[in-house]
Amino acid sequence: MAIKILLGVLLTGVVIAGFGFPMSAAPQTWYELPVIPGLEDKARIIFFHVPTAWLSVVAFITSMLYAIQYLRKREAIDDIKSSAAAGLGFMFCILATLTGAVWAKFNWGSYWNWDPRETSIFVLLLIYGAYFSLRSAVEVEEKRATLASVYSIIAAVTSPFFIFIMPRIMTGLHPGAKGDPEGAGPVIEFKMSPNMRVIFFTSLIAFTLLFYWMFTLRVRAARLEAHHHSGG
Amino acid sequence: MDFLAQHQLYIVMIIVLAIWLGLYLYLFRLDRRLKKLEERSQK
């Protein structure tokens, strides 16, 4: 219960601060955000776009951990948890792609530019898309759980390469790409001021809590479903 | 109203707040409904 209320307070605060705090060329007070040339009000998107991408990482790692647990203990609940986490991760991955595409249109001129990070999230969507086709292709429950668990582990092991390594060693449009000295993007210099950082990290925490809540809801629903099917 | 007409970003903020609070309440109700189902299935 405390987590849910904390989530409500944090994310409401992030929305109010993220949209409501005025931007100023020379911030004087603690709540004024600096204007980033080239981004202006669009800089506010970062408070919502990055957390969706972050959540997909959290979710895919969660999926991998429960997959390992399943292979060790062979309990159906771990497979339910693993697939619930992968499902949420996939959803947030799509949200990161969509919010990024809209942002890219207005900062980079096109919805899709095949920037290294765009390419890597596309590959990630394919990898996890295949996870769900694998699941739906196998009828036998135990076999499905075992195959899906192995696949989830392999997928999560390859994903850091696409999320953390490839976009950093190649030149691209996102901040943090190669040839980018200190967080300053090759296209637009993006440095967060301390108050932006507070909103940003609060948002990451709030989104993580949201993920946790949605994850438990999904697991509970799936557990009830399994209970119902077994006639218990 | 004049204030909102001049500061349009606050209109966006109100819309996003409304959507977030709506989703939040929805999750709360879903949580409670699941709890009831769980209690029923345990009996």
Each residue's pLDDT expressed in tens, for chain B with a length of 43 residues: 788 888 888 999 999 999 999 999 999 999 999 999 999 988 7
Q: How confident is the model at residue A229 (pLDDT cuts 50, 70, 90)?
A: confident
- Write down the ipTM of this complex: 0.88
B3 vs A158: CA distance, rounded Å:
51
- CB within 8 A of A72, min separation 6: which ones? none
Q: Are A150 and A160 in contact (CB under 8 A)?
A: no
Residue A184 has a pLDDT of: 45
Number of H helices, E strands in chain B: 2, 0
Q: A66: helix, coil or strand?
A: helix
User: What spatial distance separates the first Cα and last Cα of chain B, rounded to whole Å?
Assistant: 55
Q: Encode pLDDT of A30-79 as tens digits.
A: 999 999 888 889 999 999 999 999 999 999 999 999 999 999 999 999 99
Interchain contact, B20 vs A12, CB within 8 Å: yes
Interchain contact, A15 vs B16, CB within 8 Å: yes
| This prediction's pTM | 0.91
Query: What count of residues does chain B have?
Result: 43
Distance from CA of A221 to the nearest CA of B (A): 7
C-alpha dihedral (A182, A169, A89, A75), degrees to nearest 10: -120
Distance from CA of B16 to the nearest CA of A (A): 7
Residue scoring higher pLDDT (A68 or A182): A68
Residue A1 has a pLDDT of: 85
pLDDT at A180 over 70: no
Interchain contact, A217 vs B34, CB within 8 Å: yes
Strand partners, A189: A184
Residues of chain B contacting residue A232, judged by C-beta atoms under 8 Å apart: 41
| Residues of B contacting chain A (CB within 8 angstroms) | 9-10, 12-13, 16-17, 20-21, 24, 27-28, 30-31, 34, 37-38, 41
pLDDT at A190 over 80: no
